[in-house]
Structure 1
């Protein structure tokens, strides 16, 4: 008897929704210019995440509309590393706008943070000064500048780190610069660190301007770590309310959905944007 084979089913092509516009529509249209031809070029965007026992993590770093229009590289970087069964290291770095190679510096800072993790763990476990950890990262940036034969100021970057500890139900946050760290609990946002005012501090030179906090991370809470490109618009009610509506749901977004959410457009906010969200289950 001749066997009949069903015809393959094809899904008609459809457009992915454009990024959400929050508030007034930006005056300029979103365009992607030339691919940056620079030393240490970063890809336009990064996406990462994990579904771990007791913790769901979503992370994305998106090149801002301003850099896309000009064909210049994304200056933000991020990193996620699992330390052991209950702990995770998360890093978000934001290059300084007037530093020529800040995209290299931010990527180097995240990599250096992973290399210097032992120092950060000593701070968490034994009360050692966390400043030593940031000094190690700063030394790595100076070493990179020396190897590349560039001014160290060209690599300036902010750095926000967190050790998320599910076993202890807390997060240890440390920052130099204008990155934001917040807890979303019951639909409301609470800052983990005070808002930085004035000129943002940056590595490798500003290791003395360090802020730290240990925050409870209870069941149902979400920790947000972000660079200044998201921390800025989050100070306004429209963006923070929309983020709460997205991220206070019973389930975390998928990776593609999270990338779409972080790609929102808002008037006067066209910088790179990096966010790491960790939901405590």
Structure 2
């Protein structure tokens, strides 16, 4: 006979019950906005999530449609991609956040995420501005080609961006030693990369350190806040390389999560740090990434990578 758990017990155990998941005051919108009516044409699912566990590593990924898109009936515009080469031990992940003002940005986000990880999983990696600028220009050409299939006829950069545009953040982890790993990352736009620890001393509050991204001014803008693919010919993309130690968690996320983390020490950062001290299930990771909190309405996308413990 299967073991039965009471609903009251489930309601008290967030590890067993994915929803509802809130941090602080969720606001009325979290409880009142539903899924709206189905769309009349194919669209990305409201929620996607994945879990991978291999060689001591754990990866959790999720993308969830935000309340604003549920309210107005528009699609989830974020996307992510994960690739792994068992032969080389290389892990490549990407997070892309479609620019909301362009109606087909969800198409650009999915296309850019897949293109970047597919290109990087088997290439001879370089830590140089020309290599990464060239990669993101190739990704831009890929988005341009996708835009042409959606009706843009040899248009200008502005023509493409009026139809589709996306931020892009990608990270590559290569095996370097038994107790640390090289992470090379780069991006355009306000998606962000964070580092946390899973071996804090008892009672120590969780916190996150921002490594890359966030809302920064740029001359290569599609709105007042973010740069995006396709990039202009004047844009240079600088890589960042860091060492990931054991018992660490690396988080790539769209601004729907990144903005809420603040300086990495606020209530959201501490709560997610506690929840992600160890890898949750894929469904719980998605629920936690889409936590309810007043004033947060955007799509949420995150990829968390837990390094092996010693």
TM-score category of the 2 structures, normalised to the smaller one: 0.7 to 0.9
Q: How does 1:1-281 map to 2 (within 5 A)?
A: 9=2, 11=4, 14=7, 16=17, 18-28=19-29, 29-38=32-41, 41-85=43-87, 86-117=89-120, 121-124=124-127, 129-150=131-152, 151-153=159-161, 154-168=163-177, 169-185=181-197, 186=200, 187-193=206-212, 195-198=214-217, 199-206=225-232, 208=235, 210-235=237-262, 237-248=266-277, 251-281=278-308
Whether contact under 8 Å (2:191, 2:213) holds in the other structure is: no
Structure 1 residue 120: Cα displacement = 6.0
Structure 1 residue 35: Cα displacement = 2.0
Structure 1 residue 13: Cα displacement = 8.6
Whether contact under 8 Å (1:119, 1:132) holds in the other structure is: no
Pair 1:260–1:82, CA change in 2 (3 A): same
Q: Distance in 1 between matches of 2:274 and 2:168?
A: 27
Cα deviation, 1:184-229, whole Å, max 9, x if unaligned, reads: 0243311112543342000003471534211211110110000111
Q: Distance in 2 between matches of 1:196 and 1:275?
A: 17
Q: How many residues align?
A: 270
Aligned-residue RMSD, C-alpha: 2.4
Pair 1:224–1:206, CA change in 2 (3 A): farther
Structure 1 residue 149: Cα displacement = 1.3
Q: Distance in 1 between matches of 2:40 and 2:124?
A: 38
The 3-state SS of whatever aligns with 2:19 is coil
Pair 1:166–1:222, CA change in 2 (3 A): farther
Pair 1:129–1:144, CA change in 2 (3 A): same
TM value normalised by structure 2: 0.80
Q: Distance in 2 between matches of 1:211 and 1:45?
A: 32
Structure 1 residue 55: Cα displacement = 1.1
Whether contact under 8 Å (1:201, 1:209) holds in the other structure is: no
Cα deviation, 1:81-131, whole Å, max 9, x if unaligned, reads: 10235211101000001011001110111122134327864325x886211
Q: Distance in 2 between matches of 1:194 and 1:261?
A: 22
TM value normalised by structure 1: 0.87
Pair 1:221–1:49, CA change in 2 (3 A): same
Q: Distance in 2 between matches of 1:73 and 1:98?
A: 12
The unaligned stretches of length 5 or more in structure 2 are 11-16, 153-158, 201-205, 218-224
The unaligned stretches of length 5 or more in structure 1 are 1-7
Cα deviation, 1:29-65, whole Å, max 9, x if unaligned, reads: 2311112334x62111111121010311001001111
Structure 1 residue 9: Cα displacement = 4.9
Structure 1 residue 165: Cα displacement = 2.0
